[in-house]
A = this chain, B = another copy of it.
Amino acid sequence: MKFCSSCGNSITQKIPIGDNRLRYVCDKCGEIHYQNPRVIAGILPTYNNKIMLCKRSIQPREGYWTLPAGFLENGESTLEGALRECFEESLAKVINPALYAIFDIPQINQVYMFYRAELETPEYGPTSESSEVALFDEAEIPWSQLAFPMVEVALDHYLEDRKTGHFNIIREDIRRPWKSRHNPS
């Protein structure tokens, strides 16, 4: 950030009066341009005993498998965003969504909100964001080919909770260095 988005003048990082953090402040009009974490909303989609994953066709982590999720947009709820992202990435429509996992990833200024949900029918397919979409049995999950730590953490919790049928809502920090339970570091 180099210029004020309101008046176009130059910007300096300084601590405003009454604040205790460096902010981007306009040298002319004085506007403070705050920067805040973003919310990523997503779905953990299941069909019978299988879990749906999407193979990313875009950076970052192109070619790796992920749960459908993306940046929450202005004007939508986290559930609406999660359902939209699921459809945009996989063409899948899901039912019975229930909030399941919240991951704080402070090092990259992100808060993930995942809902569990079910595919009514196994209808899905590739999209501009996913080169492949597929259902996986537990034994088939490509642990070494997952795109992000949060995918592994969400799947681990889900597979564990599925044994008992009790899906308590999870809230966890995911911080680097992060240690995979499935892949040697």
A102 to B99, CA, bound (A): 10
Among B5, B7, B33, B71, which residue has its beta carbon within 8 angstroms of that of A4?
Answer: B5
Specify which of B8, B75, B76, B111 is in contact with A39 (CB 8 Å cutoff).
B111
Do B74 and A109 touch across chains, with their CB atoms under 8 A apart? yes
A34 within 8 A of partner (CB): yes
Q: Is the CB of B99 within 8 A of A78?
A: no
Fill in one digit per residue for A14-38: 1 if any B CB lies within 8 Å of its CB, else 0: 0000100100000000000111111
A residues neighboring B (CB under 8 Å): 1-8, 11, 18, 21, 33-39, 71-80, 99, 102, 104, 106-107, 109, 111, 113, 128, 169, 171, 173
**Once the chains are docked, how many angstroms separate the CA of A6 from the CA of B10?**
10
